[in-house]
Structure 1
Amino acid sequence: MKKTFIGSSLLLLPLSIVILLSGCNSKENSAAAADSLKIKIADINTNPTFRVALDKGIFAKHGIDAELVNFGTPAEGVNALFIKQVDVAYGADFPLLNAVAKGDYSIIASAGLATDEAATEWKLFVSDDIQKPGDLLGKKLSFMRGTFLPYLWDEYLKENNVALKDVELIGQGAFDEAFIALKQGDVDAAWFSGSALVDKFEGLKGVHELTDMSKTTVRLGMGIVTGNELLKNNPEGIKNFLAAVDEAATYITSHKEEVANLMYKEVKQPKEATLKDLPNNLWEVGFTQAAFDSLANQKKYMVSAGIIEKDFDLVAKLNLDPLKKALPEKVTYKK
């Protein structure tokens, strides 16, 4: 009996340790969950960065409980901040400035892309009766509402001695809408980006590519924006979010085939389109003097055009503290 009792005790000892450790792990997991930041992120179907961070567990690794909310354009995602549909959004300088001009929001990082190479991704497609910029006179020109495209049109037309008042700008909600409008002749010209969409024009009768944005003076800066309340309440979480986005961007550079497979699986974007787009659309999280200058130039245009009704201090709308803590070497801008 005694021998049996000792044997049972020895068998029970590991079990008790397992139960104890399980209890500890449960508490640790609960603590980790409590410390994680739940965040809704505005995204679009052609952007792989957030999807990679989510799919590869990079967000989870950094304590971010992320949910992606899809929109037709990044500008729509930025606008969703106003109704608290999302917590964080990204977009070109134009919608970012529009957001910070209207409310209690801050730009927390740049995501790069203000390069000649990235500018080549924006193609101007026109009807066949338009063979040179001067032929745009009196035509209907498409733009995506809330985006930088009116600025691009303004600059492109000025560079080619066509006045904005001598064309008709037609606001649309998404690129697919613009594609159909151009195909049907409801508009005469439209800018498009992304190989999956641009490739649709191959063999399309009555439409051809006239130019691309790299042949203009416009370069597209891009950044990330969030509400000041979230920044105030979760500075560590925002720091971790930015670190995760940077890690995902780095991951993409050396795993392009894997990313192309993921984009096909998630949104049915053809692999070849992703592989074609990636080299010129890689994110670089940080903030440089060039990023600030891009924002400043865009703001100057928006104020002068009356798009921003009341001017504001751009520096006051930057909150780079979480970024400086997450990626200090990538913040080279100085006030």
Structure 2
Amino acid sequence: MLSRLRATAAISTALLIAAGASACTSASPSAEAGGAESGGTTTLRVTSLSLCNELSLYALDKGIFSKHGIDVKLVNVQSGSAGIAALQGGSTDVAFVSPQALLTAIQEGVDMKIISDGGETTKDSQGIIVNNSSGIAGPADLQGKTIAVNDLGGTIVTLIEAWIQAATGQKSTAKFVALGFADIEPAVENGKVDAGAVTAASVQKITASGKGKSIGNPTFEQVGATPNALYAVTSSWLSKNPKAAEKFVAAMQEAADAAKQPANNTEKFAILSKYCKTPAETLTQVAEIAYSGYIDMKAFDNAVQQFKKAGVLKPEFDAAAAVPEFARAK
């Protein structure tokens, strides 16, 4: 229940600050008139967190979106909840959001559809990092500690709380603070927070520095493979732009297939390095997510069932109804 309240509060706050999302290039509103359905190019404004495993960034620079008749303009946001706010406020067309923030918003009445995956979690694709001098060795030691996360309404808060409870047999007493992904690893290293939820790139960075380590991946350890993040649109946009949505997910799947090929690693890491500000040579040592464009409904349901178990989603909530048939992996 606590996680549900956090998620709802974070989304409500984000809806009030939609104007805070800033485009990194100028972009005109997306429309099918003269766009993809008429044989031309459709402009799509897509939110980005500039992560080292963000598939849409690879698809953009590799020219895969262009190949599918899509001109992507990135909109920089600080969290998935801010992406939802940008979507509702009309400053973006497609939002990149964590599964929990997205599904909670839909359950609370925000009318959205999920049109693409970005990839599924793996054992080493995420981690909870701590300072080597913290004395924290596992989830039980996180009781009463302060943990930095990117989004208070995101998936990871619920999973960390469940991880702690499973290890201690008691309700989690951890406290959570929101920081940008780029700020979490330095905050852990400098002792400003006790722990932080990060991607594999930050795990590798703090481990290589000799100042910190990962104590595990609560997502994969408890649930197995789940969507790392999802791409959503408003239902009204989808009804007006069905072919653009189908082309978007087809481009994402083509990018996922290319991203899995070792022969493309040099180019892929160079592209992602530009956005996430991590050296390409460092990315070669970082565990990646299992890239995908079409949504693996089994992995999707893994996340949904965990959220229902935690009380974040109501038992009767039909999450699958938010995923159109064209967006599902066959």
TM-score bin (small chain): 0.7 to 0.9
- 1:263 aligns with 272
218, 221, 224: which is aligned to 2:223?
A: 218
- Code of the residue aligned with 2:136 in structure 1: it is I
Alignment of 1:51-200 (within 5 A): 51-101=57-107, 102-114=109-121, 118-127=122-131, 128-144=134-150, 145-161=152-168, 163-165=170-172, 167-196=173-202, 198-200=204-206
Give, in whole Å, the separation in 2 of the partners of 1:240 and 1:320.
Answer: 14
Structure 1 or 2: larger helix share? 1
Query: Shift of the alpha carbon at 1:309?
Result: 7.9
Deviations 1:205-255 (A, max 9, x none): 4x4432333773134324321111111001111111111111122222231
- 1:287 aligns with 295
Give, in whole Å, the separation in 1 of the partners of 2:202 and 2:43.
Answer: 32
Deviations 1:256-298 (A, max 9, x none): 1111222334554211233233x63242122344134224314
SS of the residue aligned with 2:254? Answer: helix
Identical counterparts, % of pairs: 24
Aligned CA RMSD, in angstroms, stands at: 2.9
CA contact (8 A) 2:117 2:294 kept: yes
SS of the residue aligned with 1:40? Answer: strand
- Code of the residue aligned with 1:244 in structure 2: it is A
- Code of the residue aligned with 1:81 in structure 2: it is L
- 1:316 aligns with 321
SS of the residue aligned with 1:240? Answer: helix
Alignment of 1:324-335 (within 5 A): 330-331=329-330
Query: Shift of the alpha carbon at 1:310?
Result: 10
CA contact (8 A) 2:84 2:95 kept: yes
42, 45, 48: which is aligned to 1:40?
A: 45
- Code of the residue aligned with 2:269 in structure 1: it is A
Q: Which runs of 5+ in 1 are unaligned?
A: 1-29, 325-329
- 1:17 aligns with none
Query: Shift of the alpha carbon at 1:173?
Result: 2.9
Query: Shift of the alpha carbon at 1:58?
Result: 1.8
Q: TM-score, normalised by structure 2?
A: 0.75
Query: Shift of the alpha carbon at 1:175?
Result: 2.5
- Code of the residue aligned with 2:153 in structure 1: it is G
Larger displacement relative to structure 2 (72-81 or 268-277): 72-81
- Code of the residue aligned with 1:125 in structure 2: it is I
Give, in whole Å, the separation in 2 of the partners of 1:213 and 1:271.
Answer: 27
Q: Which runs of 5+ in 2 are unaligned?
A: 1-32
Structure 1 segments of 4 or more deviating over 4 A? 30-34, 308-311
Q: TM-score, normalised by structure 1?
A: 0.74
SS of the residue aligned with 1:47? Answer: coil
- Code of the residue aligned with 1:129 in structure 2: it is G
Residues 1:213 and 1:80: Cα distance change in structure 2 (over 3 Å): same
